[in-house]
Amino acid sequence: QKSDLLKFYKYLDDYKISDDSSELCSGQSNQKILKICPDLRKILQKWTNVWAKYKLSTSDICQHLTYWLYGKAMKCESDYYCFNWIYSMFYEFFVKASCYKYEMFDSQEIFSRVFNADTIKNKKDLYDFLNHYSDIKELLKKPTQNKTQYCTYIKYMFDIYQNMKEERRSKLTKVYNNEIAHFEKIIKDE
């Protein structure tokens, strides 16, 4: 059974509009942007229809949308122009989805403008893990499950969390504040 998060990601990844959308990205020449621009523009155009189909709270939609867009930003690799374009798309999505009306975490920032694909990957991976944490715990309670695989994954995610905390401490960066706060909230509820 897929989680709401995975269903949301899949729905956006698979969202197709039958009309020709070539004019949506006609001003672009950057190849990385051209690979993701049409889909993002189509979803943005029909956002009300996309959102209405999905039965999640606005806060959950905004959180999931942030990390789905981070997944798209990872495709920019180290192309700063591509990252800037993606972050302008974040803004358009958040205005359309009214995300600025909701506090997602304890931080005032909805998303961080990150220009490092590894950092974005860590942020997204930890968010995805935290959204599946209770499901993973339930799977570990079943006697027939391969616990080694799950334990390895959990250890990996805890290592990412520790690395985020260390990076925040050593570089005095706030880039991971939302993820650290979310992790501590979920894990402290244990």
Q: What is the pLDDT of residues 83-98, one digit of tens each?
A: 888 888 878 877 777 7
Chain Cα centroid distance, residue 117? 13
User: C-alpha distances in angstroms, 17 versus 34, 41, 72, 96?
Assistant: 17, 10, 19, 18
Which token pair is 47? 């956002």
| Confidence tier at 165 by pLDDT (50, 70, 90) | very high
The listed range with the strongest mean pLDDT (3-17, 109-123, 127-141) is 127-141
> Cβ(177)–Cβ(169) under 8 Å?
no
Tell me the C-alpha distance between 190 and 134, whole Å. Answer: 10
| Confidence tier at 163 by pLDDT (50, 70, 90) | very high
Mark 157-176 as b/e (b = at least 16 C-beta within 10 Å). Answer: beebbeebeeebeeeeeebb
The three-state secondary structure class of 97 is: coil
Question: For 97-123, how does the pLDDT look when each residue is reduced to its tens digit (9 = 90+)?
Answer: 777 654 443 344 566 788 888 999 999
Other CB atoms within a 10 A radius of the CB of residue 102 amount to: 16
DSSP state letters, 119-138: HHHHHHHHHHHHHHHHHHHH
> Cβ(175)–Cβ(163) under 8 Å?
no
> Cβ(67)–Cβ(127) under 8 Å?
yes
